[in-house]
Amino acid sequence: MEFIRKRNLWKNSYFLAAPRSFLYRYADSGFKSKWTGFWYRENKFLEFFALKCQGEWLSEDRCRSLSYNGARAVHTFRFGGRDVIQTLFLTFSDQLVVRLSSEKPMDIELFPAVNIRKRSENRTSRKYLTEKRRDSFSTFNELGSLNVSFPRGSCFLEREE
C-alpha cells in the first residue's frame, strides 16, 4: 500500500474506478480541474464534495496523509486534537462510498457540488429536481441522477447556503 505524507500532497492525484465509473481527486483531498470529480460513463455527476466536521472544513490544509492502493483511498485529517479518517472507494455497482470515522462522535455537514453534464460540456442551463427522503436525497436532470444516502440513525437536515 502506498502511503504519502503531508509533503507535496497537492502534486499527486489518484483514480478510483469501478466497471462504468471513476472518481478523480488529488491526494490532498482537492478537486483542482474540470476533469476531477465523479464520472459515470460519459457523464460527470459531481464536481466536488466538501465536508465539515464539528464546524471545521476537512480541507487540503488539514489533510496530513493519504494511503492509496488503487482501489481505496484513506485520507487522514487533523484538527482540534482529533484525527478524522475519510475512506473512499467505488463498489462494483458504481456507487461512490465516503466513510468518515473519528474517536469521538461528530456532527458532519456535506456540501455536494452537483453538475450532471456531458464530457464535452462545462456549465449548462439544465434544470435540476431534488427529492428528499428521511435519510437520503436525489438530485437529477434529464441525463441522470445523483443519490446520496446516510447511515441509519443519522439525522438529515437540509440547509440553504
Q: Which amino acid is at 131?
A: E
The model's confidence at residue 143, banded by pLDDT at 50, 70 and 90, is very high
pLDDT score of 77: 92
Rounded Cα–Cα distance for residues 17 and 14 (Å): 10
pLDDT band at 152 (very low <50, low <70, confident <90, very high): confident
pLDDT (tens digit per residue) in 84-101: 999 999 999 999 999 999
Considering the entire predicted model, what is its pTM? 0.86
Query: Rounded to 5 degrees, what angle do the CA atoms 67, 44, 125 make?
Result: 140
Distance of CA 86 to the CA centre of its chain: 9
pLDDT in tens, 38-68: 999 999 999 999 999 888 899 988 898 899 9
